[in-house]
Amino acid sequence: MTKISLLFRTFLIRVITLCISHATYVQASVSVDIVIEQPQHHYALITINFETFASEQTNFYLPTWRTGRYEIINLANGIREFTALDSQGNKLDWKKVDKDTWQVQGTLNKKVKISYQVYANQLGQRTRHIDDSHAYLDASTVVMYSEVTRDQEHTINLQVPATWNSVSGLESGENSHQFIAENYDVLVDSPIETGINEHHKFSVEDHAYELVIWGKGNYDSAKIVADLKQLVQQSKHIWQGYPFKRYVFMVHATSGARGATEHLNSTIIQTSRFKFSQRKDYLRFISTAAHEFIHTWNVKQYRPKGLVPYDYQKENYSTLLWLSEGSTSYLQNQLLLRGDLMSSKEFLESLAKRITGYIHKPGRESQTVAQASFNKWLEEGGDYDNNHSVNIYSEGFLVSWLLDFSIMEKTALEKSYRDVHNMLYQHYKIPKSFDENDLLIILKDLTHDDYRLWWQENVHGHVEVDFNNLLAKAGLTMSYGKKNEQKQKAWVGIKTKKTTSGLQITSVEKNSPAWQAGLTLSDIIVAVNGLRMADKDLTTRLKNFKPKDRMSVTFFRRDELVTRMIILGSLPKSKLKIVPLESASDGQKAFFKYWTGLEFPAK
Ligand SMILES: [Zn+2]
């Protein structure tokens, strides 16, 4: 070997050594071991190894909420046996400084290992659930973080029963039970499903998809795969480009849990195990899949200010959550209709159901969608909410619909609400965020019009909609059936449930006949016009009455018997239908087609 080549070799070695030490410095990482040895007892042992800290004391946090559910859910309630050690195995002192924060002393210049037990028995909240057949782990409910390591790469090592199969939107590591997350934010937005499951893989237009199903049920996975293939291609009608290379649909076919949550490049959908075969059930399932898939852009790629970056320790406020949820419900139909997964008949039926809901939603007079968004963290549901609140999903859908039609009209079918969402994706991707002013700029850009007044009236105001006028733009109208058009039936305005003592009132619509007569939540109806109320519900009994009749109702209110007189109101006898106008013009038909992607329905 010549002297020059020797020198060159020494130089190379020094460069490589420098690169390696630099790489080590840059790529500080967190390693998380999750051990599930006795899954039947619903707990896991978590050990997290952190690299050297630069401060004397370090706070380790467990989030107090999880993404996709804007509600404080106190996840730290399932943590026990916390310990902290340095790399020599010496115990470090720690104390809790609030319900979600473990403060460890003596961390300066030390590598730290923390460990604890997590109790995971919350299936319905899509947070953490472990049993003898599987584990579903949303890391925000299982893995602690510190502020200084939040941006570091996290490696998850699962130790699970031998027959289990592990799946996540995360990249796999050295084995099938190891996952790598770029940072803590990616980790908490990429839940892990591990256990005994069905696992299908497919690809569409160079993108890889997976379907993983835990639980037995009456599903046909081949049909689900075929329909998901159709569904995922339709996103091109809204956005230019995909924010992922691989996407995972996770399904829990189970009992007692219903709902779904969006994540970065995956979703978790929970549904009753026997709610797949009937068309109406299946339509609900595939609509949920469409909803969550829309979120991959709307929420996961662009989010209102106030939610970027997520603050996991407290509420994240925004007046635009209606756009995150209501728009998603609105746009899910775009995917379903264009992918031939929902017929125009089914679409019009779902719209009729929504309109019926809006008509019986007194809360629209009390709250705006902006207020509902801001107060989402307080939402309780129930009778008070129905009468005095709006919902970011349903009323968010309504505002999205109004905005869509407004843009379509103003641009003579050149632009639509879909373009608003594509512009949000193209120009406001995280780490950017958007506010109401940014939306006004986008709307001006698309329509050359000023939307400030519209925004005040519909987002910060109480929306009043003439539905027939709205539907007419697309050549549609409301109908309560031709023959029965004028026929009305008696209406009280309550919902009830059967109890052993009688019919218990579960809700009273504000200003309805029952409301006017003073009936309220939890009253137990026992008699109507002096005769025992033995029927399953009031419907049968009401058939003997006409609108404007007087009906005496006897009920128990906290054990005291009370009688009140109700002057009955009226309701259309038939269900609301949305039907095509016979005289629809070519312009109205074109509007319908631009809106739905479908030909105008024949009748
Ligand atoms: Zn949603």
Enclosing H/E stretch for 17: helix 3-26
Phi-psi region of 541 (alpha: psi -120 to 50; beta: other; left: phi over 0): alpha
The two structure tokens encoding residue 407 = 């843009």
User: Separation of 69 CA from ligand 1 center, angstroms?
Assistant: 9
User: Separation of 302 CA from ligand 1 center, angstroms?
Assistant: 14
Alpha-carbon distances, residue 482 vs 352, 396, 469, 479 (angstroms): 16, 31, 19, 7
Enumerate residues 6+ apart whose C-beta is below 8 A from 462: 364, 365, 367, 368
Phi-psi region of 306 (alpha: psi -120 to 50; beta: other; left: phi over 0): left
SS3 328: helix
pLDDT at res. 5? 54
The two structure tokens encoding residue 289 = 């899949």
Enclosing H/E stretch for 443: helix 436-447
pLDDT digits (tens, 9 = 90+) for 254-292: 998 899 999 999 999 999 999 999 999 999 999 999 999
Rounded Cα distance between 119 and 138, Å, is 13
- Residue 486 has phi, psi (to 5 degrees) of -90, -10
Rounded Cα distance between 269 and 126, Å, is 9
User: Separation of 335 CA from ligand 1 center, angstroms?
Assistant: 15
User: Separation of 409 CA from ligand 1 center, angstroms?
Assistant: 27
User: Separation of 365 CA from ligand 1 center, angstroms?
Assistant: 24
Regions of the chain where pLDDT drops below 50 = 1-4, 6-7, 10, 13, 15-25
SS3 37: coil
Percent of the chain, pLDDT > 70?
Answer: 94
User: Separation of 508 CA from ligand 1 center, angstroms?
Assistant: 28
* Residue 97 β-bridge partners: none
pLDDT at res. 510? 95
User: Separation of 291 CA from ligand 1 center, angstroms?
Assistant: 6
